[in-house]
C-alpha cells in the first residue's frame, strides 16, 4: 500500500529533526525480521539517483513527549534506549519506506533525526560531482552516463576519453569554482519554464523535474540534497581514473572525505620516509634506488643458486640416466628451468628439480630427453600422491603434497 511522502529534504537540505505520522507499518517482504514504515513526511533521503540513503533514528513519541512539543521545547530529551535505527530508506512511486527492526503503530507520531555528518558529507560529494560533470560537459561535450555515491567514494562514468593532464586541469577548475563560493540553487520549475532550460539529464524525465543549478558551471536534473554554495564543498580531489566501456571512469573525494584521504596519504608517506631515513621529498628517489639495489641482489642470488644447483648436479652418480635434485627456499623458476635443461642435455632420461620440504610439499620442474614425455612422470607420481600441474612433453611443472624426498627419488 503506497502513499506519497512529503520530502522535507527538498524544502530544507540542512534540516536534521522532524516529526511525522506513521501511515503504514508492515513486515518487509524481502527483508527478514524488518518492518517497512511509511511516514506522511520525512527528512530521510532514500537511495536514489546513484546515492546511498541517509542514516539516523526514529523515536515513537508518548503523550508527555507530545505535550512538550506543543510547548515548542527547544530540545526534546529522548533516552537512547528508545531510539530505533533506520537501517535503510527506499523510494517507489514517491512513497518513501523506512526499514526498522521494530514495529510502529499506524497513526502514531514519531520524532526523526538524521545523521547530519553523513548527510553533509553526501551533500559535499554530490555538489562536487555536479561542478566536475558540468565542466566536463561544457569543455569536452561528454555526458555523465553513470554515477555512484557510496559511503566511501564517488565514481562517475563519462562518454569520452579524458587524459591524465585533462583530468588535472578539470580538478583545478573545480577547486577554483569552490573558492569562488558560487550559489547552488535547487527548485522545481513550472512546465513552461522547464522547456526553456537547457539542463543535463541521464534519461528522459516526466512530471515534476527538480533542477539543481551551480551558478556559472552546471544545470542538471537531480533529486538529491545539495549544499547552498560551492565553498561548502571544501575541496575536490581526483583519486583514480581508468578507461571504461569506451569512456572514462573517474573516482573523486570531496570535503571532509578528501581531507581524511590526505591525512592517510601523508601519514603513509611520513612512515615510509622514516623507515628510509630520509625526507618526504626524497621518498621517490630513495624508493627507486632501493628497487634497483633489490634487483641487483636478486640477480646475484639467482646466479649463486644456479651455480650451486649445477655443482650438486655434477655430484649425482654418472651412470644414472634419470635424476632429481632437492632444494629448499624460493628460487627463481628461470634458474630451475636452465638447470633442468642442463641435466637433460647431459643425461637424457627424466630430470627434475624439487624445491620445498617434506612437511610443506614441493614445487617442481621436470624435463625429459628426446622421445620421452615428462607427463609420464606426473602420471606415476599421481598413483600415490596429490599432484597438480602439467605441461608439454619436453617440460612440466607443478606441485606435490604428501611425498617425501625419498619417495620422489624412488619414482625417478
Q: Domain ends where: 97, 114, 131?
A: 114
Domain presence at residue 295: no
pLDDT of residue 73: 52
pLDDT at 74 exceeding the cut of 60: no
Angle, helix 333-347 to helix 283-314, in steps of 10 degrees = 20
pLDDT band at 75 (very low <50, low <70, confident <90, very high): low
Domain presence at residue 278: no
- Class of residue 342 by CB neighbours under 10 A (exposed 0-12, middle 13-18, buried 19+): middle
pLDDT of residue 39: 96
pLDDT of residue 316: 77
Domain presence at residue 286: no
Tell me: do 253 and 349 sit in the same domain. no
Q: What is the pLDDT of residues 151-170, one digit of tens each?
A: 888 999 999 999 999 999 99
Q: What percent of the chain has pLDDT over 90?
A: 58
More confident site: 290 or 72: 290
pLDDT of residue 302: 83
Q: Indicate which CATH number applies to the domain containing 63.
A: 2.40.30.130
- Class of residue 311 by CB neighbours under 10 A (exposed 0-12, middle 13-18, buried 19+): exposed
Domain tally for the chain? 3
Q: Indicate which CATH number applies to the domain containing 407.
A: 3.10.310.30
More confident site: 127 or 281: 127
More confident site: 147 or 69: 147
Q: What is the pLDDT of residues 304-334, one digit of tens each?
A: 888 888 888 777 777 777 888 888 877 788 8
Tell me: do 243 and 321 sit in the same domain. no
Mean per-residue pLDDT, 187-202: 88
Tell me: do 91 and 139 sit in the same domain. no
User: Torsions phi, psi of 203, nearest 5?
Assistant: -150, 165
pLDDT at 238 exceeding the cut of 90: yes
Tell me: do 75 and 109 sit in the same domain. yes
Tell me which residue of 58, 68, 70, 73 sits closest to 108, measured CA to CA.
58
Domain that holds residue 14: 6-114
Domain presence at residue 279: no
DSSP 348: -
More confident site: 406 or 75: 406
pLDDT of residue 16: 94
pLDDT band at 80 (very low <50, low <70, confident <90, very high): confident
Tell me: do 76 and 17 sit in the same domain. yes
Q: Which residues of 193-223 are buried (b: 16+ CB within 10 A; e: fewer)?
A: eeeeeebbeeeeeeeebbbbbbeebbbbbbb
More confident site: 81 or 233: 233
The mean pLDDT value of the chain amounts to 90
Tell me which residue of 173, 148, 154, 310 sits closest to 230, measured CA to CA.
173
Q: What is the pLDDT of residues 327-372, one digit of tens each?
A: 887 778 888 888 888 888 888 889 988 988 898 899 999 999 888 9
Tell me: do 91 and 144 sit in the same domain. no
Amino acid at each position: 500500500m503506497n502513499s506519497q511522502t512529503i520530502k522535507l529534504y527538498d524544502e530544507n537540505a540542512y534540516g536534521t529533526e522532524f516529526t511525522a505520522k506513521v501511515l503504514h507499518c508492515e513486515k518487509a517482504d524481502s527483508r527478514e525480521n524488518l518492518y517497512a514504515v511509511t511516514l506522511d513526511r520525512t527528512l530521510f533521503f532514500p537511495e536514489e539517483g546513484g546515492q546511498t540513503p541517509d542514516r539516523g533514528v526514529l523515536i515513537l513519541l508518548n503523550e508527555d513527549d507530545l505535550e512538550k512539543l506543543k510547548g515548542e521545547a527547544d530540545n526534546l530529551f529522548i533516552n537512547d534506549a528508545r531510539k530505533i535505527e533506520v537501517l535503510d530508506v527506499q523510494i517507489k512511486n514517491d512513497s518513501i519506506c523506512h526499514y526498522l527492526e521494530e514495529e510502529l503503530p499506524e497513526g502514531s507520531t514519531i520524532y526523526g533525526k538524521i545523521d547530519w555528518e553523513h548527510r553533509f558529507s553526501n551533500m559535499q560529494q554530490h555538489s562536487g560531482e555536479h561542478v566536475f560533470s558540468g565542466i566536463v560537459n561544457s569543455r569536452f561535450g561528454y555526458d555523465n552516463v553513470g554515477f555512484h555515491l557510496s559511503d566511501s567514494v564517488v565514481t562517475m562514468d563519462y562518454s569520452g576519453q579524458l587524459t591524465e593532464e585533462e583530468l588535472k586541469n578539470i580538478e583545478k577548475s573545480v577547486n577554483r569554482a569552490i573558492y569562488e563560493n558560487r550559489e547552488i540553487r535547487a527548485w522545481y520549475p513550472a512546465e513552461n519554464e522547464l522547456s526553456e532550460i537547457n539542463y543535463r539529464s541521464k534519461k528522459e524525465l516526466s512530471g515534476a523535474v527538480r533542477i539543481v543549478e551551480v551558478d556559472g558551471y552546471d544545470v542538471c536534473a537531480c533529486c538529491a540534497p545539495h549544499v547552498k554554495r560551492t565553498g561548502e564543498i571544501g575541496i575536490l580531489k581526483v583519486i583514480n581514473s581508468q578507461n571504461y566501456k569506451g569512456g572514462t571512469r573517474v573516482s573523486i573525494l570531496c570535503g571532509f572525505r578528501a581531507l581524511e584521504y590526505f591525512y592517510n596519504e601523508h601519514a603513509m608517506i611520513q612512515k615510509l620516509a622514516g623507515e628510509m631515513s630520509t625526507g618526504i621529498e626524497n621518498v621517490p628517489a630513495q624508493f627507486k634506488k632501493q628497487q634497483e639495489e633489490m634487483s641487483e641482489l636478486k640477480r646475484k642470488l639467482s646466479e649463486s643458486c644456479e651455480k650451486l644447483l649445477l655443482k650438486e648436479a655434477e655430484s649425482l652418480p654418472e651412470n644414472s640416466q634419470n635424476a632429481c635434485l632437492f632444494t629448499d627456499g624460493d628460487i627463481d623458476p628461470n634458474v630451475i628451468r636452465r638447470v633442468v635443461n642442463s641435466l637433460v642435455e647431459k643425461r637424457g632420461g627424466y630430470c627434475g628439480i624439487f624445491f620445498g620440504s617434506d612437511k610443506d610439499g614441493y614445487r617442481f620442474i621436470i624435463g625429459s630427453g628426446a622421445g620421452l614425455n615428462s607427463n609420464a612422470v606426473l602420471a606415476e607420481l599421481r598413483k600415490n600422491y596429490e599432484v597438480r600441474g602439467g605441461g608439454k612433453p619436453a617440460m612440466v611443472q607443478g606441485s606435490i603434497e604428501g611425498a617425501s624426498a625419498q619417495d620422489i627419488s624412488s619414482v625417478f
